[in-house]
Amino acid sequence: MRMKKKAKHYFLLTLRIGLGLVFVYAGILKIRDPVAFAGSVAAYKLLPYSINYLVAATLPWVELACGLFLIVGYKVRASAGIIAAMNILFIVLLASTIMRGLDIDCGCFRQGGEKTSAWVAILRDILFLAVALILFTERKERKFSSW
């Protein structure tokens, strides 16, 4: 029983820090080149010109903040909730590019370079969503858990 609890503890700890690192990485790459990220946002052809830049200027910071909070274990449930909501939004947006026949790079991590297909990006986001939801629900009964 104790072994099982310990295994779960390390499992959740790995998920939390792993997801945190992914979002810190994604955020920093975009923060370094907001103009390129604005181009990626604009490629979705959903927002007015200037709003693409507003999204590019702010979204990476939300990713970075949530990632950092997950790594340090502060406000884990709120951060996981935001990441889950963002991933649901990303999945919907990526699905819309497939439906509209847009052959674009998802702009998820590094801007430019080789394209990541929308299907691959959706599968990746589903994985992130699942991890975020696990963290969100598991944290429910705890105030400040050890993981």
Least distance (Å) from another protein to the CB of residue 76? 10
CB 45 within 8 Å of CB 102: yes
- 43 belongs to the binding site for another protein (CB under 8 A): yes
User: Which stretch in 3-11, 16-24, 33-41, 124-132 sits in contact with another protein by CB under 8 A?
Assistant: 33-41
How far apart CA 90 and CA 26 sit, in angstroms, is: 13
| Residue 106: other Cβ atoms inside 10 A | 21
Q: Looking at 23, 105, 108, 138, which residue binds another protein (CB under 8 A)?
A: 105
Give burial (CB, 10 Å; 0-12/13-18/19+) of 114. Answer: exposed
120 interacts with another protein by CB under 8 A: no
25 binds another protein (CB under 8 A): no
Nearer to another protein, 35 or 127 (CB): 35
Scanning 5-13, 16-24, 104-112, 127-135 for contacts with another protein by CB under 8 A, the matching segment is 104-112
Q: Does 26 bind another protein (CB under 8 A)?
A: no
Distances (CA, A) of 48 to 44, 55, 69, 90, 119: 11, 11, 31, 18, 25
**Rule CB under 8 A: is residue 38 a binding residue for another protein?**
yes
Spatial contact of 127 and 45, defined as CB atoms under 8 Å apart: no
DSSP, collapsed to helix, strand or coil, labels residue 92 as helix
Residues 56-75 that bind another protein (CB under 8 A): 56-62, 64-66, 69, 75
CA–CA separation, 144 vs 8, rounded Å?
Answer: 16
Binding site for another protein (CB under 8 A): 31, 34-36, 38-40, 42-43, 45, 48-50, 53-54, 56-62, 64-66, 69, 75, 77-79, 81-82, 104-105, 111-113
